[in-house]
Homo-oligomer: A and B are copies of this chain.
Amino acid sequence: MPNSLSAIIEILGTIAFTISGVYSAMQKKLDILGVIIIGFVTAIGGGTIRDVLIGHTPVTWMQDLTGPVVILATAIITILFKKRIGNFKVTLFLFDALGLGLFTVIGLQKGLAAGLHPGVCVALGTITGCFGGVCRDILLNHIPVLFHKEIYATACIIGGVVYFMLINTCGKSITEMVAVIVICSIRIIAYRKNWKLPAL
């Protein structure tokens, strides 16, 4: 995938993740700083856990300030225009799905760069995509949505497997793009059709 495209998608994904955190926090009547902190944690939590687990420190958001700046701006705008932003639910959901796909692929690549086994890379991709939401839910005192509602981690795992099936034959750019599209599509279709994994 061209770097510029991937950078744009990453920013859109960060925006969507931040907004999801801000909205969840506002429902719990947190104060303004609490809401912003939850926005941050939702957007950077997954990548931060990944970085800590592989020893890539100081963690990414400390070294590249694009993330924090985008998050802070997004959180403030969301708080100011909360009602209007509610009108863009569909757009936000699409950003979120795109972000999920791209974050997962970024996690996969960091795992590969650290020389880890493909299975571990898939786990790292899933952590990068999903664990920001897990941190959000823990801080807000919920059981993480990831574990009992909607198809989320499943999409990341399938996308990760597709990635490793293609990477040796299709080249890096195409493989990345296909993996992002697979994850994004599964997430969207599952949401539309209300697919769920069986509960136990």
**A contact set with B: CB distance below 8 Å:** 25-26, 28-35, 37-38, 48, 52-55, 57-59, 61-63, 65, 68, 79, 82, 114, 116-117, 119-120, 123, 134, 138-144, 146-149, 153-154, 157, 196-200
Stoichiometry, as copies per complex, reads 3
CB pair B32 A198 closer than 8 Å: yes
Contact of A116 among B31, B58, B153 (CB under 8 A): B58
Chain A's interface: helix, strand, loop or mixed, by majority? helix
**Which of chain B's residues have a CB closer than 8 A to the CB of A53?**
48, 52, 57-59, 62
CB pair A142 B139 closer than 8 Å: no
CB pair A55 B57 closer than 8 Å: yes
Across the A-B interface, the 3 shortest Cβ-Cβ residue pairs: A55-B57, A34-B147, A31-B197
